Amino acid sequence: MSIDENDFQQLKSEIDAWVRGPGEVWAERIEAEGDVPRALYEELRDKGWLSLAAPVELGGRGIPFPRYLELLEIVSRSHASIRMLVHVNNGTWRAMEPFANTEQRELVKKAVTGEVLVAFTLTEATAGTGADLRSTVRREGDTYYLNGEKHLITFGVKCDYWLLFARLEGTTGRDGTVALLVPNTGLPGAEVIDDSHTMGVRGTDHAILEFTETPVPVSARLGEEGQGLEVALGGFLLPSRVSVAMSAVGLAERAQELAIEYALRRETFGRKLAERPVIQNYIAENYADIAAARALVFEAARAYENGAADAGALSSASKIVAVDMLARVTDKALQIHGGQGYWARNPIERVYRDARAQRFEEGTNEIQKAVVARAVLAEYAATAAAAASAAPTSPAPTAAAPTPTATPKAEARA
C-alpha cells in the first residue's frame, strides 16, 4: 500500500520529537513507579501509534511493514516499555485477522484501535518451541476445559484478552494445537500471578497464568483445531521477530548517541574522550555493527512483505544478528561512560538493562539458529533433489564389438 511520503516524514519527525521530549518524562516516571500508567497507553492510542501497521479496513493506518519498522526504530530509542506497547499492539492483529470469523473480526478491530489489549500467550516454563506445548484443552460439547501454565506473558496481568495457545489432550507436535481468544475476566479456575519484577523493561506487566479446568467456549477458537501453531508462528512470531530485531537497532542507536555525547563532553588528562583512538574505535565498530544489522532487518522485512520463501529464515537471522549486535554496542557504550555509566542517574544504565531482554524476546538465539539451520538444510536438500531429477538420463551401454583375431601378418607388423 502506498503512503504519502511527506505525511510519512512528518509522522517520523513527530514521533522523534515525542521520544526525545514527553517520552523521556514518561520514561523517568515509569522507572520511578515501576508501572506503565494507563494515561500513557491512552496517549499512545489517541496519537494513533498503536494502530500504525494494521490495514485501514481494520481501523489502522495501513503503513507497509518495512516503513512501519522505520517508525518502530525511532520508538525503540525510548523506554523499553513504551516500545513494547507500540510493538505488541501493532502486531497481534496479524495473528488474529486471517483466522477470525465475523464476530471475532470486531474484536480484532477493537484491538487495532486500542480499545482492548490482547496479550500473546504462548510461552510455557516447560516448553520452548511451540510444538512442545503442554497446556491442554478437553472438548465437551461446546466447551473446552483448559489446563496448564503459561509464564513470561507480556501484558498478561492488565490485558483484556489472552491470545492463548494449547493442544487437545492426547495430541503431540503441531497436531491438535488450538488458538483461543480467552477473556481476562476472572474465569473459574484461572489464576493470574503478577511476575513483573524484572531487570529491565520495567513497568511492563508480565504474568504467570495457571488454568485448572477453566471453561472456554469453543466459539473462542481462532481457526480450526490443528491450526494453533499456524496462528502463532506465521501470523505473529515471524514478523514480530523482525520487529524485535529493529527494536534492537533503535536501542543500539540510542546507546551510540549517548556514548558519543559523553565522549564529546568528558575530559581526562586534558583531552576529550572522543579524541582518543580507543574510543574512536569503539564508536566506529558500533557504527558498522548497527548499519549491518539494520540492512539485514530491512531485507527480512521486505521478504515478509513479499511472501518470499526465505522470509522465515531471514526473520530469525535478522534477530540473531541484531540482538548480538545490541549486546556489543551497549557494552561498548557503557564502557565509554566508564564508572559513570553504572549509575542509574545516567540514561545508558537503563538502556543497558533494557537491552538484555531482547536476547530472549520472541525466542532465544539458540531457537533462532535452529530455525535458520533447518530452513537452510531443507533448501539445500530440495535443490540437490531437483538437480538430480533434472539431470539427463545416460543411454544404456551397448555391447562392445568383438575384437578381431590378429593375423600372423598383423602380429608381425605389431
Task: Assign residue 302 the CATH number of its domain.
Answer: 1.20.140.10
Domain boundary (59, 93, 113) is at 113
- Number of other residues whose CB lies within 10 A of the CB of residue 390: 7
Q: Which of 115-124, 136-145, 353-362, 402-411 has the lowest mean pLDDT?
A: 402-411
**pLDDT score at 395:** 61
Best CA proximity match to 274, nearest among 288, 286, 261 = 261
Q: What is the DSSP pairing of strand 177-183 with strand 221-222?
A: antiparallel
Same domain? 375 vs 241: yes
**pLDDT score at 184:** 97
Element (H, E) at 375: helix 365-390
Amino acid identity of 288?
A
The SS3 of residue 199 is coil
**pLDDT score at 1:** 57
Total domains, the chain: 3
Alpha helices in 178-276 (DSSP H): 228-229, 238-265
CA-CA-CA-CA torsion sign (106, 111, 115, 118): positive
> pTM of this prediction?
0.90
Q: What is the DSSP pairing of strand 190-194 with strand 267-268?
A: unpaired
**pLDDT score at 315:** 96
Residue 130 makes CB contacts below 8 A (sequence gap 6+) with 122, 165, 229, 232, 233, 237
Tens of pLDDT, residues 16-38 = 999 999 999 999 999 999 999 99
Termini Cα distance of the chain: 84
Q: Judge whether 409 lies within some domain.
A: no
C-alpha 321: how far from chain center: 13
Q: Judge whether 20 lies within some domain.
A: yes
Same domain? 156 vs 265: no
**pLDDT score at 400:** 52
- Alpha-carbon distance 303 to 314, whole Å? 8
What is the mean predicted confidence (pLDDT) over 301-319?
96
C-beta separation of 244 from 362 below 8 A:
yes
More confident: 119 or 405: 119
DSSP per residue, 143-199: EEEEEEEEEEEETTTT-SEEEEEEEETT--TTTTEEEEEEE-S--TTEEEEE----S
Of the CA atoms within 13 Å of residue 361, those in its CB half-sphere come to 29
C-beta separation of 164 from 120 below 8 A:
no
Instruction: Point out which residues pair with 167 in neighbouring strands.
Output: 136, 177
Same domain? 83 vs 199: no
Same domain? 347 vs 330: yes
**pLDDT score at 390:** 86
Q: Judge whether 411 lies within some domain.
A: no
**pLDDT score at 408:** 39
Same domain? 217 vs 352: no
Tens of pLDDT, residues 360-408 = 898 899 999 999 999 999 999 999 999 998 887 666 555 555 544 444 3
Domain boundary (193, 224, 255) is at 224
Cα–Cα distances in angstroms (integers) from residue 273 to residues 117, 254, 265, 282, 341, in the given order: 46, 18, 8, 11, 14
What is the mean predicted confidence (pLDDT) over 120-148?
92
- Alpha-carbon distance 89 to 171, whole Å? 31
- Number of other residues whose CB lies within 10 A of the CB of residue 10: 11
Amino acid identity of 219?
S
**pLDDT score at 148:** 97
Hey, which residues are catalytic here?
362
Domain boundary (224, 249, 271) is at 224
What is the mean predicted confidence (pLDDT) over 194-215?
95
Q: Judge whether 317 lies within some domain.
A: yes
- State the CATH number of the domain containing residue 203: 2.40.110.10
Same domain? 140 vs 73: no
**pLDDT score at 28:** 95
Tens of pLDDT, residues 87-100 = 999 999 999 999 99
Instruction: Point out which residues pair with 399 in neighbouring strands.
Output: none
Same domain? 162 vs 238: no
Q: Judge whether 96 lies within some domain.
A: yes
What is the mean predicted confidence (pLDDT) over 327-346?
96
Same domain? 101 vs 244: no
- State the CATH number of the domain containing residue 91: 1.10.540.10
Same domain? 295 vs 343: yes
What is the mean predicted confidence (pLDDT) over 288-302?
98
**pLDDT score at 59:** 96
Q: Judge whether 393 lies within some domain.
A: no
Q: Which of 260-274, 285-299, 356-370 has the lowest mean pLDDT?
A: 356-370
Residue 188 makes CB contacts below 8 A (sequence gap 6+) with 213, 214, 215
What is the mean predicted confidence (pLDDT) over 9-20?
98
Q: Sorting pLDDT into bands at 50, 70 and 90, what band is 14?
A: very high
The chain-wide mean pLDDT, for the chain, equals 92
Q: Judge whether 249 lies within some domain.
A: yes
Residue 320 makes CB contacts below 8 A (sequence gap 6+) with 365, 368, 369, 372
Same domain? 249 vs 353: yes
The residue range of the domain holding 203 is: 118-224
Residue 97 makes CB contacts below 8 A (sequence gap 6+) with 58, 105, 108, 235
- Alpha-carbon distance 80 to 318, whole Å? 19
| pLDDT over threshold 80, residue 106 | yes
Q: Judge whether 408 lies within some domain.
A: no
Per the structure block, which three cell numbers stand in for 118? 490482547
Same domain? 91 vs 144: no
Q: Sorting pLDDT into bands at 50, 70 and 90, what band is 233?
A: confident
- Number of other residues whose CB lies within 10 A of the CB of residue 345: 6
**pLDDT score at 305:** 94
C-beta separation of 121 from 164 below 8 A:
yes
C-beta separation of 208 from 219 below 8 A:
no
Kindly state the percentage of the chain with pLDDT values over 90. 87
Same domain? 141 vs 286: no
| pLDDT over threshold 70, residue 354 | yes
CA-CA-CA-CA torsion sign (285, 286, 287, 290): positive
Tens of pLDDT, residues 157-200 = 999 999 999 999 999 888 899 999 999 999 999 999 999 999 99
